[in-house]
Amino acid sequence: METLEPILAEHPFFARLEDRHLKLLVGCAANVRFDAGQYIFRGGEEANQFYLIRHGRVAVEIYAAERGSITILTLGEGEILGWSWLLPPYHWQFDARAVELTRAIALDGVCLRKKCEEDHDLGYELLKRFAHIIEDRLEATILQLLNVYEPHR
Amino acid sequence: MNPIAESPITAGVNSPMLPHPHRVKRVRRETDDTFTLELEPLNGAANPASSPGQFNMLYVFGVGEVPVSISGDPTQAGLLVHTTRAVGTVTKAMVKLKRGDVLGVRGPFGSHWPVEESAGSDVVIVAGGIGLAPLRPVLFSVLANREAYGKVVLLYGTRTPADILFRRDLEAWRARFDLDVFVTVDRAMGGWRGNVGVVTTLIHRAPFDPLNSVAMVCGPEVMMRFTVKELNKRGIDFDSIHVSMERNMKCAIGFCGHCQYGPTFICKDGPVFRYDRIKPYFEGREI
C-alpha cells in the first residue's frame, strides 16, 4: 500500500530527518482536505494536530468582538500550520480557515507527543524544526507591528 | 585650473542645477496618499533618456524641490512619469497641481538597476509600499525584452489592500504566463482574499533559481534589511542583490553632501547600490 512517507520525506520541514524517525511520523499522518471557507480549527479548541499544507491557502485569524475576524497571516503550499499541539495546555490560540480548497497532511499531535516522549531524539529534532518556524513567524510579526510602510510625518 | 569654473554648475543652460519647465499632462491618484504625475517638456523639447531606478528633482515653483523616482515606461519616450507620496510640503503642493500647470525638472540623476546586466538570469523584484514606483520601469524593460531573461518574479508588500499601487499594472502582469506576481498586505479585514503577512514571507514561496538570480529590492530600510537576509538565506549572494537607498538629497550631483552615506553620495553613486558594496554601512547605525 502506498504510504505518505515519500511526501513527508520530500517536504523541507522533514529534510534530513533520519529514516527511523520518518517512519514513526508516517504512523501519525493522514491526508485531509478543507473546502473554501471551512474552519480547520478555532481558538480555544484542543490542539491535537499540525498540518503540512500541500495545496491551497489558509488564513490564521483572531476574532475581535468589535471588528469581527482579523486575518493575521496566510499560509500556502509547503508551509506548516499549528504548533499549539506541542505546548500545554494544547489549545489553539487562533482560528484557521481555508481561504480556498486546501489539501494538507495532518499529523496527530497526541500520537506525536507520545512518540517524542518515548524517543527524545525525535522530540529534539521536531522542537528544533518548530523553533525555526516560530522564529520566522515572530520576526514577521515584529515587522508587521513596526508598520514600516507608514510615512514618517 | 579652477575646478569651479570648469564644473557643470557653471555650464549655463546645460547646468544640472537648472530646472527645465515641464507641463503637467495628468495627475492620477494611485491611493489615498500617493499619486502619479505625467509631465511633458515645454515647447516640444525632448526629455533626456533615463534608466530604470534613476530619479529627477521636481521643483514646485515658489515651494521647493524634491527628488522623485521615475516610475514610467522607459520604452515610451516623451512622457515623464513620476509617482510619489504626498507627505511633505512640496509633495502636498505637487498633488494639487492641475493639467497645464508647470513645474521644473532636473535630471535624470543617479545609478540604475542592473536590467541589461541581468540578461540570462532569473530576476527577483521585491518591493515594499511606494518602493514599487522605482521598480516599475524595471518590469516594463524586462517585459519588453522578455526572452532575454529566465524566470521573472515580483514580490510586492504593502500596508493594506487600499494601499496597493499600480493595481491595473499588477492585474495585467498577473495575467501573464511568463511572470510570477505575489502580493501581500500587512493588515486586512474581510473581503481580501489574497495573502496577509510581510513581504519577506513570500521569498521562500517564489519560484527562482537562487544560484542564477539577480534581486532588486526597494522599500523602507527595515523592510530591505529583512528582505536581503531572507534572499541570502534562500541562496542569493550579496553581490547579486541590489537595493535602492534613500536619504535627504538636495543638489543631486554630489556637491552639497546632504545625502552622504559612508564614503558615497546616494544622489551620485546611488540610489541603486549592489548590496555587498554598501553592506558595512547598511548594517551600521546612524549612517
Tell me the sheet residues that pair with B55: B69, B109
- State the total domains in chain A: 1
Chains A and B form CB pairs within 8 A to the count of 70
CATH code at A103? 2.60.120.10
Q: Inform me whether the pLDDT recorded for A41 exceeds 90.
A: yes
Q: Taking CA B192 as the corner, what is the angle to CA B187 and CA B35, rounded to the nearest 5 degrees?
A: 70
Query: Most B CBs within 10 Å: which of A71, A134, A135, as the mutation test of the B interface?
Result: A71
Residue in chain B nearest A142 by alpha carbon: B198
Structure confidence at residue B2 (pLDDT): 45
Q: Which of A118, A82, A107, A120 is nearest to A8 (CA)?
A: A107
Structure confidence at residue B4 (pLDDT): 42
Note the pTM of the prediction, 2 decimals: 0.90
Q: Which of B135, B142, B141, B190 is nearest to B157 (CA)?
A: B135
Residue in chain A nearest B200 by alpha carbon: A140
A73 touches chain B (CB under 8 A): yes
Question: Measured between CA atoms, how close is B153 to chain A, in angstroms?
Answer: 17
Cell of B275: 548590496
Q: Taking CA B102 as the corner, what is the angle to CA B97 and CA B105, rounded to the nearest 5 degrees?
A: 105
The domain in which residue A45 lies consists of 5-149
Q: Which of B69, B40, B95 is nearest to B249 (CA)?
A: B69
- Those of residues 122-151 in B touching chain A at CB distance below 8 A are 128-130
Q: How far apart are the C-alpha atoms of B129 and B86, rounded to whole Å?
A: 14
Q: How far apart are the C-alpha atoms of B80 and B78, rounded to whole Å?
A: 7
Chain B residues within an 8 Å CB radius of A71: 188-189, 192, 196
User: ipTM of the assembly?
Assistant: 0.86
Chain B residues within an 8 Å CB radius of A139: 200, 226
CB contact under 8 A, B159 and A151: no
Cell of B256: 552639497
Q: Give, for all 287 residues of chain B, the pLDDT tens digit.
A: 444 444 554 455 678 888 899 999 999 999 999 999 999 998 777 888 889 999 999 999 999 999 999 999 988 877 899 999 999 999 999 999 999 999 999 989 999 999 999 999 999 999 999 999 999 999 999 999 999 999 999 999 999 999 999 999 999 999 999 999 999 999 887 778 899 999 999 999 999 999 999 999 999 999 999 999 999 999 999 999 999 998 888 888 888 888 888 889 988 898 999 999 999 888 877 76
Q: Inform me whether the pLDDT recorded for A134 exceeds 70.
A: yes
pLDDT digits (tens, 9 = 90+) for A66-79: 888 889 999 999 99
Tell me the pairing of strands B195-196 and B213-218.
unpaired
